Amino acid sequence: MKFIETKLQGAFIIRPDLIEDERGFFARTFCRREFEEHGLNTNLVQCNISFNKQKGTLRGMHYQVPPHAEAKLVRCTAGAIYDVIIDLRAASSTFKQWFAVELTAENHQLLYVPEGFAHGYQTLRPDTEILYQVSEFYHPQSEEGVRWNDPAFGIVWPLPATAMSGKDASHPDWGADK
């Protein structure tokens, strides 16, 4: 695996090394030892799948607060997404900055999202599926979010939002309740 640090401190794009032959390929997407060597959380306790029917579906921007803050390892298994993270760690040199990467079934890349980051994505194709592993169990009382189009962050989304939950659409602006 190749670990490529993003402009946001502690967040990585992970490119699996594909071992290919006439049958197809084999690749590792997680190795505790390699993750530990990069200082990443290896305590993956839950795996989730999200399926999205429509191109333009927007989900986010979600996070869990301490003591249930979670790291995520995200991969698109069908279709394509524009995956966005925001550094919400007040002591970080990249506080309130965002980063986006296109994850597709074809490029096999993963995004490692550290604790203290908000995460969301927009589907770039219909029938898109995302698999993500998390380092903490879901804890509803620790769940928070920021609005996908909050001017405090200025995220540039590639498409108009075609579908979104009422909950995601109504997250408060950053600082409104902080």
Q: Which fold has domain 2-169?
A: Jelly Rolls (2.60.120)
Contact 74, 103 (CB under 8 A): yes
- Taking the chain, what is the end-to-end CA distance rounded to the nearest angstrom? 38
Q: Find the catalytic residue in 38, 62, 112, 121.
A: 62
**Is 132 a catalytic site residue?**
yes
- The Cα–Cα gap between 36 and 14 comes to 14
Give backbone dihedrals phi and psi of 20, rounded to 5 degrees, phi first: -110, 150
Model confidence pLDDT, tens digit, residues 120-140: 999 999 999 999 999 999 999
Q: Give the model's pLDDT for residue 177.
A: 56
Low-confidence residues of the chain: pLDDT under 70: 176-178
Q: Find the catalytic residue in 82, 112, 132, 171.
A: 132
Q: pTM of the predicted model, to two decimals?
A: 0.95
Domain residue limits, the chain: 2-169
Token couple for 28:
């590792």
Q: Give the model's pLDDT for residue 176.
A: 61
What is the chain's percent helix, strand, coil content, to nearest 5? 5, 40, 50
**Is 119 a catalytic site residue?**
no
